[in-house]
Amino acid sequence: MVFGLGSLFSALLDHSTGTRLKTKSNQRPKTEDQISMFRIGIGNDTHRLVEGKPLILGGVRIPFERGAEGHSDGDALTHALADAILGALCEGDLGVHFPDHDPQWKDADSLQLLARVCWLARERGFNIVNVDANVFLERPKLREHVGAMRDNLAKVLEVDAGYVSIKAKTGEGLDAVGRGEAVSAQAMVLLSGEK
Ligand code: MG
């Protein structure tokens, strides 16, 4: 059986997004001029851990004696994700949009920054398909907080939490993360939009 390009891309869409973007039976199939366009982006971020600062990751405040130094709330995971989305859009990085010398972003809630980046993505005609992220922190263990982080980020991204993956890693005693001096995060994101 021979499929046209439109059928092939419609099938890919259904496979990658599950029921969320499935074509309804009463909708006409997409033509080749309406096929979806995908963009991927990558982001990473590192913050020094210091006393007297809260440790916030994915919008969750983690009980710990040290936290992330930074102009905003120092949420490395949310920053990495926002950078990944900006990268997919070819819109520079977080520092371009929220300069760390601008007092309006002092102690800013990074989920609010992420919400602004998501708004920009939608303005450009893109939706979030899925996210995969790693957080590198020697201690404390993050496993019990991962569910709340996924829920927070999914709410801002306007996707189901099943499309937001977060893995908690350590530095195995090596480098700044391993010595407990830093928290680091990396994220990849897939966006879809129509041509
Ligand atoms: Mg940062």
Q: How much is the pLDDT for 22?
A: 43
Q: How much is the pLDDT for 177?
A: 97
Alpha-carbon gap, residue 81 to 67, rounded angstroms = 19
What's the CA-to-centroid distance between 154 and ligand 1, angstroms? 19
Q: How much is the pLDDT for 71?
A: 86
Residues 50 and 6 in one domain: no
Residues 92 and 134 in one domain: yes
Find the CATH number of the domain harbouring 169.
3.30.1330.50
Segments of the chain with pLDDT less than 50:
1-25
What's the predicted TM-score (pTM) here?
Answer: 0.82
Residues 13 and 77 in one domain: no
pLDDT in tens, 56-91: 999 999 999 999 998 889 999 999 999 999 999 999
Domain that holds residue 13: 1-30
What's the CA-to-centroid distance between 72 and ligand 1, angstroms? 8
Residues 7 and 96 in one domain: no
What's the CA-to-centroid distance between 121 and ligand 1, angstroms? 20
Residues 88 and 100 in one domain: yes
Residues 41 and 3 in one domain: no
Say how many CA atoms lie within 13 Å of 17 toward its Cβ.
Answer: 21
What's the CA-to-centroid distance between 25 and ligand 1, angstroms? 44
Say how many CA atoms lie within 13 Å of 88 toward its Cβ.
Answer: 32
Count of domains observed in the chain: 2
